[in-house]
Structures are given as C-alpha cells and as structure tokens.
Structure 1
Amino acid sequence: MKPLLLLIDDDNEFISDLVLLLKNDYNCISANTGDEGLKLIEEKSPDVVLLDLMLGEGVNGLQVLKKISTLDDNLPVIMITDYASIDTAIEAIKIGAFDYISKAPNLKEFKLLVERSLEQRIAKVQAQTLSEEIHRPYSTIIGESLPAIKLKEEISLFAGNDNTVLITGESGVGKELVARQIHQQSSRRNKPLVAINCAAMPKDLVESELFGHERGAFTGAVSKKQGKFEVASGGIIFLDEISELDLNAQVKLLRVLQEKEFERVGGVTTIKSNVRVIAATNRNLRELTKNGLFREDLFFRLSVLPINVPSLRERKDDIALLANHFIALTCSDSKIAKKKISERAMELLVNYEWSGNIRELQNHIIRAVLVARNDDITEAHLDPQLFNSSGLEKIPIKIPETWEEMDRIRKEEIDKAGRKIEKLFLENLLKIFDGNISRASEHIGINRTNFHKMMNKCGAKFVRQQK
C-alpha cells in the first residue's frame, strides 16, 4: 500500500500540481484550512503532512503544527511556503516539524525528503513500542540460577560490541527477549529494533521483505517499498528462525554482512547498510551445513558472538520466580486481585519437565489464574497433565536431526530420568527419617559420605515441615 500524504494549503492550484507529481508513489488527500486538516488527521491517519506556513485569512501554519503535535507526536510534518526564511524554519523545527522546503522544490529532493520523514515515523513508532515493552514486568531475564546469571553476563558483554550475534535454544526459551535485551543495553538503543520471522516470509518475497523493491520490479510491485534493512538503519535487525531462509536468500544476506551494502529488487542504486544483525534458531546449524541446507560461510558470519539460551529444565531454581512473575503479570493484565500459589501447586510446577519452556509455563499460569478466579491458585486449578508422576512419564526433547544427535539426547534423557528417580527416592527416605542422614544411609546400606554424594548428584534436599 502506498503511503498516505496530507496536503494542507489554501492554494488549490499548488495542491493540484503537487498531487500530479506525487500520485505515482503516494496516495494524496488535501485540505484548504487548518481545521479541515486536523479533522482529516483524526479520520484518515496520514503518514506525512505537508503544511503551508501561511494559510488563508492570516492563519499561521505554526499554530496548526502545534495542534498536530497534540494529536500525533509521531506524525512527521514538512513545512512548505513561498516565504522561506531561516528564522521561520528554525522555529518550525523547534516546535516539531520534520523539515522545511520552498513551494518550488526539486522533485527528486522533495521525494527524498518525504522518504526520510517516513523512515523517521517508522523509527519513532518502533522506539515507542519498544519502550512500552521494556517497562512491562516480563521485559528482562528473570532468574537467579547459575544458567540465568551466565546468560545475563553474556548479554551485557555482547551488547557493547557491534558484531553479529547468533542466539540458539529450544522453542519458548526467550530468544527474542535476549535480542531485545542486547538492543536495550547497546549503543543502538535509540534506533529501531526490527524483528522478522524468516519462516513466515513467502519464499518468493523474501528478498523484497529484507531489501525492498522498486516500483514495477515484479507483478504487484505498484510502488517503491523499503525493506527491513532500510527500516532498521542505524539500529538492529533480528532474524528469527534464520535456518528457514532458502539458499538463494542466504547468498543475499551473506553479501550484506560482508560488503555492508545491497540493492532493492529491481533497483540499480547501491544502498549502504548500517545495521547490526542478530539471528536466532532452534535448529542445529552445524548439522544443516553438513547436509548442505545452510551455507557454512554464512554460519561463520552469523556466529561471531554465540549465545545459547538454556532450557527451563536447566533452570529449575528459577521456576518459582518466573511463576510468581507471570501470576502478577496476568492478574494485572486481567484486572484481577493479586494471587498466591499453594506449596503443592508450586511443587508440581517445579517438578514438571516443560518441553515448551518459559512460553509453556506462562500459558499454564494464565490458565490457572483465570480458572482460580477470585481464589488463590491450588493444584486443583492446574492443568491435569502436570500431575503425570511429577513429569516422569513425559520426557520432552527437541527432535534430533542425525543419528549421533539422537544417541546423545537419548543418553542424556536416560541420565536425567535416573537422577529424578534417585531424587524422589532420597527425598522420600529423608522424609521417613525426618532428615536424619545417618539413619537413612544405614537403612539402605551405604555410608554417609556416599549418601551425601548421591544427594548432590541428583539435587535431593530435605525441607523440614513447619509444625
């Protein structure tokens, strides 16, 4: 869809001439007075406003500019006048105008100015959206476990660098959140963060989505379009599910990373790229390169700074913190009074395996909060699947892509299941003997030292119940 321009000017002849010049690239609407223009802004939500400095009957365009700012402070306004002066230009820009141009502009310069104003609007809206997300309760890495602390340290370390980052990890672990944290802590924080899901792009439009296209470049290209790399200029582009890019698109991306430049589809003008690239995947890119499904040179370009986001199974100590965070967040969003969660319900959450990781935990919490209504959350409000022997019947894994990976995962899962059984056995034994390790170890015929080693290996603990 073409951008919508609003022309506010009392000179109908000038409006007609300008529309004639711009109609191929933009949709244009017009108003002869400030009041008419303000009404159209509310009704039509234009992308750019072209405002005459001197409207009819002595109305000053600067007064209209101030009113536009109150309606939409992200809306770029370009001042146009016959009475150009540096003083009024400076005053207009101080009030909030994007720029200033005479009524007899060079057409190429004029279009360039409009394009720049559109870029600014996109950047401001994205920055505002990001700011709102940052101030939500779940906008940072929540957790105090060793894996969570290591992840936070890597984010802080890599944020200060401008190299590419490759974020890996299972689905639902929070890879996009990591990318947003890097952006927020980087020197590019005041520039756009543009996120794009590579798996969601139609294969025949990938190049257009990433790099843009010129009018007439292909069937349906009725106007020029900026790609994500242009929109993200000066900021960061986040390429989620990077493994889903086909080999042709991988070649184009590799060139941008190597040469820092690209052309729009159908274009001949080379555009310089000033964008930091962060990519993410839940697949094994090394295996994909071995099988010829992902370019090895692109893999090395992307993985300069690798971050692996741990699964929730590796962050058991953070589950209670995350659960309470999501309870508070859901209560706030749903306008429900704050809730507590029972010890038994929390125990079920901690012992579950969470194949869907943090996203799955959040979904379960949302359900529990809504099912509980005005009550605190108990095990009765949790999804029944959380009760399957504390998760022992379910061994969720990422589907392996090679025999070697399958064999490694199988051994890991067998080991995890064994440790869980040991943990339940030892904790039950300690409960029977009220935490007395000497009596418990004697009961099963091993010494205290080996009993302690078994506890440490499987993470068994004894918590004395309050009487």
Structure 2
Amino acid sequence: MPDKTVLIVDDEPKMQRVLEIMLKQMGHRPLLAGNGLEALEQIEAHAVDLVVSDLQMPQMNGLQLLEALRGQDSDLPFIMITAYGTVESAVEAMKHGACDYIIRPFDVEQVELSITRALELGRVQRENRFLKSEVSKGWGEFVGQSAAMRQVYEHIGQVARGKTNVLLVGETGTGKELAARAIHQASPRKDALFVPINCAAIPADILESELFGHTKGAFTGAVKDRMGKFELAGGGTIFLDEITEMPMPLQAKLLRVLQEGVVERLGSNRPMEVDVRVIAATNRNPREAIADGKLREDLYYRIQVFTVELPPLRQRLEDIPSLAGHFLDKHSAKLGYPVPDIAPAALACLQRYPWPGNVRELENVMERAVVLSGGEHVDVRHLPLEIAEHAPYAAGGNAAPAPADPAGLALDPAVEALEREFIGRALEQTGGNKTRAARLLEISERTLWYKLKKYGLS
C-alpha cells in the first residue's frame, strides 16, 4: 500500500523526525504538525489518509483533536501515541474512534504494523462509502436469451478472466455499463472497486482532476489534495463511458497511463503506479470517431484489444416479454404496488415499437405503466402514445379501440381516433386537470390545448 499521506502530530521535533524517516522508508508521504490546531489546518489543506498523533501537546492535545475530527463526521483513521503511565487515556481514545494506540517507548516494527493496519482500514472505509453510493443506483442483471445476447454473455465470460482492456460498443441505453460491471464481477478483481465515470457528463476542465486527482493550488478552487478515480480504482476496474467525448489532450494522458501504468495528479510531477483494468465504452462507431477527430487512433488500439458489441433492443425483440416482466417486478417492489400482468395487445405494442432509447427506454415505460395501472393490469392505455400507436387493432378486447369508420387502412383517421381516446382517458383519470393530463400523456400543456381544440374536446 505505497504512497499514502500520513499526518504526524507531535510537539517534539525528535519524535517527528523519527516517524518521518520511518514513513518515508515505508514508501509513504509524511506531513507534520506540532499540535491539534495545526493538524486540523493540514487536514483541511491536504488529502490525508492517516493521523498518527501524540496524546500530550499544547493548545490542543491528541484526544481533543480526535474529538474534533469525529465531531466533523470524519472517519479518518487515527493512531494515538501515549506514554506508559497514561494507558487509560489511550483506552479513552479508542472509545472516541481511534483505531489503535502505541505506547512509548515503542518498537519500530510494531509501529509499522499498526500504520499498515490503519491504512488498510482506511481503504476499506473509503470503498464502503463508495459502494454505498453505488448500491442506490440499482445495478440489475442482464435479462434475455436471444441469440444476440447469448453472444454477449459468451464474450463477457471469455474476457473477464484476464487483464485485457475492453471496448464496449453500442447505442445509448443498450446496457454498456451493465456489461462492464458483469466483466468486473466475473474477474479476479471483483473484490476491489468498480469505478464508473461518464466522460460526457463531466465538464472538460474538471475531467482531468476527476480521473487523476489534483494537488492543493493546482487550479483556482483546489483547496486541498484530492484523489482521482484511477487511484480509487487501484486493484480494480475503471469504466470510462463515452470515451469519444474525452478531450484529445486528455486522451494523450490516458494513453500514457495505459502504456506505463502510472498517473500524476494535476499540479504534481510525482508519478504514482496504479494497477487498474480499463473498460471503455462509446455509442459511436470508433472508426468514424477517429475520422471525425473525436478519438485518437493510438488510444483506440490500446483500448480495443477485446471489443464487445451490445445489440440494440430492436434486434432482440424476442427478449421484450422477459425484459418487460423483469421491470414490472422491479418497479412494483420499489413503488409498493402489486406486480401487474400485461395484456397481449400491450405486449404487441412493445414488440412493434423501434425503441430508439433501447432497454433504458423500456424500463422507463414499464415504471410509468406500474404507476398508471396501480399495479393491477397493464394494457395499451397505460403506454405512451408513440408506443400505443403500434397497437394491433385486430387483437381483440385488450387493444385500443379502432375508430368507428376507419376509412379502410387510412392512417390519419386511426391516429386521430386513438389520440381522442387517450386524451379522454387522461382527462378522466385527472378529473379534468389539464396540467396533470398533459403530464400523463407526456406532452406539453400547450400541445394538449391544441389537440383539445382540434378535436373539439375543449
């Protein structure tokens, strides 16, 4: 666990020097403070991984420093150093959240062991905080047994076992992050972190700091050292989504990381070794992205050692029934509704729609259907208009009603009749509230007013 920042808090220069030399020999970066107040200033300015503090100091002693940190909801690992005659104070420190204490005079090997244990505890705490934030996203699982998906499963199984960089290619909403997580979970790195970062969602001037970290003063607003995502993912996997949106100068720095296995925080010239597997993804054709100047060709060859293509939903329509059922189960449980069944006509609509938003769009539609149906029975009227327009009119009672005189196969009269039907149902469900009706229909209130006037319903 090399190159961690350890704050030594002691008012005796000789003791500071002893611990400083020891930490440097262990491969760590020492910071120094003469008392608790100075220590708080150092912690405010730097990304500290561990505090090793003497108990007896002027102005603010070690126990007061520990209490101040815990009062700030900081779980920063803390080791207390105390003289033999004040063991009771060390026990008190443990009650306040210190992870260990050392009695002076101490054995060097004992101190090194204590520091190593404390840093490992800090790593576990940091990972737990990160994982708690990730759990709320609902990772889910792949659903579907179409030929296209069976090939995806096969490729994931083949590439997961090694260290090979992977490129995932697919339209938005096809499950590229889900595939990246599946590769990580099936790999020897599964016990370390999976760290996703969306290159398109982070402003270009912030992305470098997010990836590689920064030092205090590296730019305006950098008030303390900060760890980057590559450091956080050490021993695990980093997922770079929409990599073609990464600025070209930053792609050059990423190429160096892949070639040399080192990162440098922004504002620092200290290279740090990292052991990270990179999985990248794009919703563009990589060759076209290279031609358009959106992706470096040399970086492409580094990340596409193994490419997995995620099929769009329109190419795996046979998976829609199982996907729809999965999402109805998921969102009924989340929203506290009974799990509804789905009418054959509604299912037929889903399988006739082209799904530009792919699986992500289908999930949103199913969540909406759970709410509108109240968890009882999902039929065509619970689907958005653009999907309900694909209703099979010959399907029987579960289909949306056909116009009284459809004029043969003329499309416009059929669509108008369906719009009237859905607008009427929306107004009925909302008690005539046009704002809520427009929200149910997923159109603007202005569009609803226009259609009400057009169809003489106002």
- The normalised TM-score by structure 1 is 0.66
- SS of residue paired to 2:221: coil
Q: Deviation per CA, 1:334-392: give whole Å up to 9, x if none.
A: 1112221122222221222111000100000010000111422222222222122359x
The structural deviation recorded for 1:205 is 2.6
Equivalent pair of 2:102/2:111 in contact (CA under 8 Å): no
- SS of residue paired to 1:313: helix
Q: Which residue of 1 aligns with 2:279?
A: 278
Q: Which residue of 2 aligns with 1:178?
A: 179
Partner Cα distance (2:290, 2:75) in 1 = 43
The structural deviation recorded for 1:222 is 1.9
The structural deviation recorded for 1:34 is 8.0
Give the counterpart letter for 1:355 in structure 2: P
The structural deviation recorded for 1:89 is 7.2
Is 1:308 the equivalent of 2:309?
yes
C-alpha change, 1:349 and 1:64, in structure 2 (3 Å) is farther
Q: Which residue of 2 aligns with 1:121?
A: 125
1:239-254 equivalent positions in 2, closer than 5 A: 239-254=240-255
C-alpha change, 1:129 and 1:293, in structure 2 (3 Å) is closer
Is 1:25 the equivalent of 2:46?
yes
- SS of residue paired to 2:130: helix
C-alpha change, 1:258 and 1:83, in structure 2 (3 Å) is same
Equivalent pair of 2:45/2:216 in contact (CA under 8 Å): no
Equivalent pair of 1:168/1:281 in contact (CA under 8 Å): yes
Partner Cα distance (2:39, 2:65) in 1 = 19
Partner Cα distance (1:389, 1:346) in 2 = 10
Q: Which residue of 1 aligns with 2:416?
A: none
C-alpha change, 1:126 and 1:220, in structure 2 (3 Å) is closer
C-alpha change, 1:58 and 1:254, in structure 2 (3 Å) is closer
- SS of residue paired to 2:342: coil
Equivalent pair of 1:8/1:51 in contact (CA under 8 Å): no
- SS of residue paired to 1:287: helix
* Runs of 5+ consecutive residues of structure 2 not aligned to the other structure: 1-5, 11-33, 52-58, 393-458
Indicate which of 117, 137, 148 corresponds to 1:99. Answer: 117
Q: Which residue of 2 aligns with 1:45?
A: 73
Q: Number of aligned residue pairs: give it.
A: 359
Q: Which residue of 1 aligns with 2:340?
A: 339
- SS of residue paired to 1:194: strand
Q: Deviation per CA, 1:243-271: give whole Å up to 9, x if none.
A: 10111111111111112123222212111
C-alpha change, 1:233 and 1:40, in structure 2 (3 Å) is closer
Backbone CA RMSD of aligned residues: 3.9
Q: Deviation per CA, 1:139-184: give whole Å up to 9, x if none.
A: 2211111111111111111111211100010111111000011111
Partner Cα distance (1:159, 1:292) in 2 = 30
Equivalent pair of 2:328/2:370 in contact (CA under 8 Å): yes
1:95-174 equivalent positions in 2, closer than 5 A: 99=117, 119-127=123-131, 132=135, 139-174=140-175
Partner Cα distance (2:239, 2:89) in 1 = 44
Q: Which residue of 2 aligns with 1:15?
A: 36
Is 1:267 the equivalent of 2:260?
no
C-alpha change, 1:309 and 1:20, in structure 2 (3 Å) is closer
Moved more, 224-233 or 56-65: 56-65
Partner Cα distance (1:317, 1:351) in 2 = 11
C-alpha change, 1:48 and 1:79, in structure 2 (3 Å) is farther
Partner Cα distance (1:259, 1:6) in 2 = 30
Partner Cα distance (2:91, 2:340) in 1 = 52
- SS of residue paired to 1:199: coil
Partner Cα distance (2:60, 2:368) in 1 = 51
Partner Cα distance (2:63, 2:335) in 1 = 41
1:290-329 equivalent positions in 2, closer than 5 A: 290-329=291-330
Give the counterpart letter for 1:312 in structure 2: L
- SS of residue paired to 2:200: helix
Tell me the percent identity: 35
C-alpha change, 1:275 and 1:48, in structure 2 (3 Å) is same
Partner Cα distance (1:226, 1:87) in 2 = 28
The structural deviation recorded for 1:86 is 8.8
Give the counterpart letter for 1:25 in structure 2: H
Equivalent pair of 2:168/2:280 in contact (CA under 8 Å): yes
Partner Cα distance (2:65, 2:225) in 1 = 29
- SS of residue paired to 2:279: strand
Partner Cα distance (1:165, 1:215) in 2 = 34
Partner Cα distance (1:144, 1:301) in 2 = 31
Partner Cα distance (1:85, 1:345) in 2 = 73
Give the counterpart letter for 1:324 in structure 2: G
Equivalent pair of 2:9/2:39 in contact (CA under 8 Å): no
Equivalent pair of 1:52/1:80 in contact (CA under 8 Å): yes
Partner Cα distance (1:54, 1:213) in 2 = 35
Give the counterpart letter for 1:223 in structure 2: K
C-alpha change, 1:16 and 1:82, in structure 2 (3 Å) is farther
Partner Cα distance (1:221, 1:133) in 2 = 29
Equivalent pair of 2:45/2:225 in contact (CA under 8 Å): no
Q: Which residue of 1 aligns with 2:31?
A: none
Q: Deviation per CA, 1:15-41: give whole Å up to 9, x if none.
A: 34644665542699x997989967974
Give the counterpart letter for 2:125 in structure 1: R
